Amino acid sequence: MRLTSPEFADGAEMPWSVSASNENRMPTLNIHDKPARTVSLTLALEDLNSPLGNVTHWLAWNLPAAITHIDALHFPKEAVIGTSTFGKIGYMGPTPPTGTHTYQFVVHALDCELTLPTGASRPAFDAAIAGHIIDSAELHGILQRL
C-alpha cells in the first residue's frame, strides 16, 4: 500500500496553505495498492517533532475501502472524525511552534469498520485498530516556522 500527494513528495516541504496558521486546508492524498480484503481505512496526521511527544492533529476512520483520492472537497460523508491532542474534532493543520517539524500522514487498511463514536480519543482509536490492521502506509512532509 502507498500514500502519496500531488502537492508534496515524501519527506519534502508541504505547502504552507495546509497549516493551521494559513488556510488550515487538508492536502490532497492518494491511496494506492490497498489489499483486496480491506473493509475500511483510517487516516491520521501526527507531528513527530513536537516537544509534547507525538501529537495527533487529525484522526478519521471508517473511510470506504474503495476510496483512492481524498481532499478537503472530497471527504467521505461516512467517515468518522476523532479528537486531536488539542481536544478538537476535525482537521487541525500542522503549525510548528518553532523550527522545522516532520508531519506524518498514516493510512491503515482494516479488516473491519470501527464502532468508535465521533470525537473518540487517540488511545481509544489505537485500542480499536489493534489486531485489525492489514496494511499501512505513511507520507511525511515538513513545515518550517516562518
Q: Where are the domains of the chain?
A: 2-144
Give the Cα-Cα-Cα angle 62, 68, 74 (nearest 5 degrees).
75
Give the Cα-Cα-Cα angle 135, 78, 55 (nearest 5 degrees).
55
* pLDDT at position 95: 83
Q: Per mean pLDDT, which range of 32-36, 100-104, 112-116 is the poorest? A: 100-104
Q: What is the mean pLDDT of residues 113-128?
A: 97
**What span, in angstroms and rounded, lies between the C-alpha atoms of 22 and 10?**
21
pLDDT higher than 80, residue 102: yes
pLDDT band at 146 (very low <50, low <70, confident <90, very high): low
DSSP 113: -
Position 23: which residue type? E
Give the CATH H-level superfamily of domain 2-144. Answer: PEBP-like (3.90.280.10)
pLDDT higher than 80, residue 145: no
pLDDT band at 90 (very low <50, low <70, confident <90, very high): confident
For the whole prediction, is pTM greater than 0.85? yes
Is 92 or 140 the better-scoring residue by pLDDT? 140
Alpha helix stretches (DSSP H) within the chain: 122-129
Q: Which residues contact 122 (CB under 8 A, 6 or more apart)?
A: 56, 59, 82, 83, 85
